[in-house]
């Protein structure tokens, strides 16, 4: 075979390689190696009769990779691509590496919001990926017959073996539902009732810790400590005393340092198996895993002192059922502790920030707390929570203004399907789609007036618990918009947040306990804009300090 014919064969293999990877994108290293190296070796063999071996190898590799890359980029940018009808930045059509970089900075929610402001409700943010802010897609996309988890979850968690993947990262719907069963038992109404004493104990410890502080405190830091200590109690029966000892092992620093690499890989998940093997990138995450493994081992050694999450994940409530591997329980525990503590922590911090910057809402909530939990009454008792409608409105409004996961939720159209239609939006097989609830929450078509403001009264107006005539200012009932179908703070459908009821319990207890004992004042001269501008989304949310002075009320 002549050199020219050999080059033509190599180019053809590059085109075929593009089609194979497009249809069978995988996380399997052996598949990647065979796809990249096999054609190069074959091309070298075809060229070697005409060229020296080393030169034949260079030319084969260069020709194959060039044809593979050019074919991929041309197709992604062309009108032949099935997502070509959706607008978006040209660079995002070509590669996910740009979004990976933006995500690494924690600012993807701000960046994608700017894209929606420019392009509309549907934006192409990757070669095979769109972002949607239209809440009419929620049921079709996230509901019982909706789409499975997207590949972002698989890549972000940086787990090497599929068998070790925690529930959050499972993309197969049937397997996800199977793995969710012990979680559902762990967060049943009866189970949550048993966790109430743990919540009360840690909330009391939080109040006592705040009482011992002198002068200014970062309220967010202490909320972090409460959330983490409680989740360790709830997940593994104990093992953390940040409220008592402080963060002596720099757990939160390790966690926050370990988040950006996972967020980067979430955008290019096929890189996960490689980057997970680079110690410099995963060192902090591995320390977090080691810490959680020590909690697991400690729980096994102590035995079941009470029914905790481990009790259910290890199938201790179903002795006839084989317990899962220890590694899997460790990974599930990491998700429970990290995600469970962060979502509550960010929302509680946002609640206290919003109240401190909105005196009228603060006063009204304080009056409600004093009515149900006057001085001398136990604020850790949950019996009045369902009657505290303004407290619920405050929590909902904080979740609307500052969602726990600003980056939204990702789903993927199965490769073996015929595509899916979400309202007027058709998504072809293999397309990843995000629903960014943050943008719907801040859209006047769904929440009006005071769309971007913290205004708990909107929830009372929508429920009929407050009349429009009660406002001295002009609130036009005809123009009032409250699209509660757009409000999915704990996601929606069979893959929603299994711990949402426990999270609401924690938030209600802590808000009642803290506001019964203290009055919060932001530090004089501190710019409140610092809070919103300093939020960073790495799937869990990091936030800037919120400096407050706590004044005892009684």
Q: Cα(95)–Cα(76) distance, rounded to whole angstroms?
A: 9
Are 400 and 451 a contacting pair, CB within 8 Å?
A: no
Q: Give pLDDT tens digits along the chain (554 positions).
A: 788 888 999 999 999 989 888 776 667 788 888 888 899 999 899 888 888 989 989 999 999 999 999 999 999 999 999 999 999 999 999 999 999 999 999 999 999 999 999 999 999 999 999 999 999 999 999 998 889 988 887 766 665 565 667 777 777 888 888 888 889 999 999 999 999 999 999 999 999 999 999 889 999 999 999 999 999 999 888 888 999 999 888 888 888 888 888 888 889 888 887 887 888 877 887 787 788 778 877 887 777 778 888 888 888 888 777 788 877 887 787 788 878 888 899 999 999 999 999 999 999 999 999 999 999 899 999 999 999 999 999 999 999 999 998 888 999 999 889 999 998 899 999 999 999 889 999 999 999 999 999 999 999 999 999 888 887 667 888 889 999 999 999 988 888 889 999 999 999 999 999 999 999 999 999 999 999 999 999 888 889 999 999 999 98
Per-residue three-class SS string for 450-468: CCCCCCCHHHHHHHCCCCH
**For helices 500-517 and 326-356, angle between their N-to-C axes, nearest 10 degrees:** 40
Residues within the annotated binding site? 497
b (16+ CB within 10 A) / e for 197-212: ebbbebbbbbbebbee
Nearest to 323 by CA among 331, 333, 313, 332: 313
Residues 19, 22, 23, 27, CA torsion sign:
positive
Q: How far apart are CA 6 and CA 19, in angstroms?
A: 20
Sign of CA pseudo-dihedral 418, 421, 424, 427: negative
Answer yes or no: are the C-beta atoms of 378 and 509 closer than 8 Å: no
Tokens of 132: 């949607």
Given a contact cutoff of 8 angstroms between Cβ atoms, the answer to whether 478 and 514 are in contact is no
Summarize the annotated binding site for heme as residue ranges. Answer: 497
The H or E element containing residue 327 is helix 326-356
Other CB atoms within 10 A of residue 369 CB: 22
Distance CA 510, CA 204 (A): 9
Cα 354 to chain centroid distance, Å, stands at 22
What are the tokens at 528? 């409140």
Q: Cα angle at 222 between 184 and 256, to 5 degrees?
A: 70
3 state DSSP class of 125: strand
- Kindly report each contact of residues 528-534 with a partner whose C-beta sits within 8 Å and lies 24 or more positions away, as own/partner: 528/353, 528/357, 531/353, 532/402
At 29, list the tokens: 């290293």
Judged by phi (left if over 0) then psi (alpha if -120 to 50, else beta), residue 492 lies in beta
């Amino acid at each position: 075979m002549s050199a020219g014919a050999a080059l033509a064969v190599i180019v053809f293999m590059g085109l075929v390689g593009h089609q194979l990877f497009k249809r069978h994108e995988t996380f399997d290293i052996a598949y990647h190696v065979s796809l990249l190296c096999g054609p190069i070796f074959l091309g070298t063999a075809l060229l070697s009769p005409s060229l020296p071996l080393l030169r034949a190898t260079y030319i084969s590799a260069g020709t194959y990779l060039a044809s593979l890359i050019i074919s991929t980029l041309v197709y992604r940018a062309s009108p032949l691509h099935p997502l070509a009808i959706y607008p978006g930045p040209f660079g995002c059509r070509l590669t996910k590496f740009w979004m990976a970089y933006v995500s690494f900075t924690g600012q993807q929610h701000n960046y994608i919001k700017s894209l929606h402001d420019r392009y509309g409700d549907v934006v192409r943010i990757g070669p095979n990926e769109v972002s949607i802010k239209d809440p009419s897609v929620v049921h079709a996309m996230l509901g019982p017959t909706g789409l499975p988890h997207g590949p972002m979850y698989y890549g972000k968690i940086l787990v090497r073996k599929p068998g070790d993947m925690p529930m959050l990262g499972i993309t197969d719907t049937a397997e996800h539902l199977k793995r969710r069963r012990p979680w559902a038992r762990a967060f049943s109404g009866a189970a949550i009732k048993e966790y109430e004493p743990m919540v009360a104990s840690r909330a009391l410890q939080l109040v006592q810790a705040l009482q011992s502080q002198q002068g200014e405190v970062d309220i967010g830091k202490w909320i972090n400590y409460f959330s983490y200590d409680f989740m360790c109690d709830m997940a593994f029966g104990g093992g953390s005393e940040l409220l008592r000892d402080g963060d002596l092992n720099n757990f939160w620093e390790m966690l926050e340092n370990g988040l950006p690499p996972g967020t980067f890989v979430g955008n290019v998940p096929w890189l996960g198996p490689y980057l997970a093997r680079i110690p410099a990138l995963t060192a902090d995450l591995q320390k977090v895993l080691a810490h959680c493994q020590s909690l697991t081992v400690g729980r096994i050694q102590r035995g079941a002192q009470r029914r905790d999450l481990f009790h259910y994940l290890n199938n201790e409530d179903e002795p006839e059922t084989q317990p899962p591997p220890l590694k899997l329980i460790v990974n599930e525990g990491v998700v429970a502790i990290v995600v469970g503590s962060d979502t509550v922590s960010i929302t509680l911090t946002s609640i206290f920030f919003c109240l401190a910057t909105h005196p009228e809402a603060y006063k009204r909530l304080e009056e409600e707390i004093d009515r149900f939990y006057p001085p001398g009454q136990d604020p850790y008792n949950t019996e009045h929570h369902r009657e505290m409608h303004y407290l619920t409105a405050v929590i909902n409004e904080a979740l609307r203004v500052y969602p726990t996961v600003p980056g939204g939720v990702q789903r993927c159209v199965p490769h073996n399907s015929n595509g899916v239609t979400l309202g007027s939006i058709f998504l072809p097989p293999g397309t990843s789609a995000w629903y960014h609830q943050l943008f719907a929450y801040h859209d006047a078509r769904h929440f009006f007036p005071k769309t971007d403001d913290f205004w708990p009264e909107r929830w009372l107006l929508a429920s009929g618990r407050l009349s429009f005539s009660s406002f001295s200012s002009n609130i036009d009932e005809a123009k009032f918009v409250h699209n509660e179908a757009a409000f999915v703070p704990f996601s929606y459908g069979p893959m929603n947040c299994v711990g949402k009821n426990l999270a609401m319990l924690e938030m209600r207890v802590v808000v009642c306990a803290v506001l019964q004992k203290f009055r919060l004042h932001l530090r004089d001269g501190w710019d409140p804009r610092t809070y919103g501008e300093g939020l960073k989304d790495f799937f869990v949310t990091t936030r800037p300090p919120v400096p407050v002075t706590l004044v005892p009320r009684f």
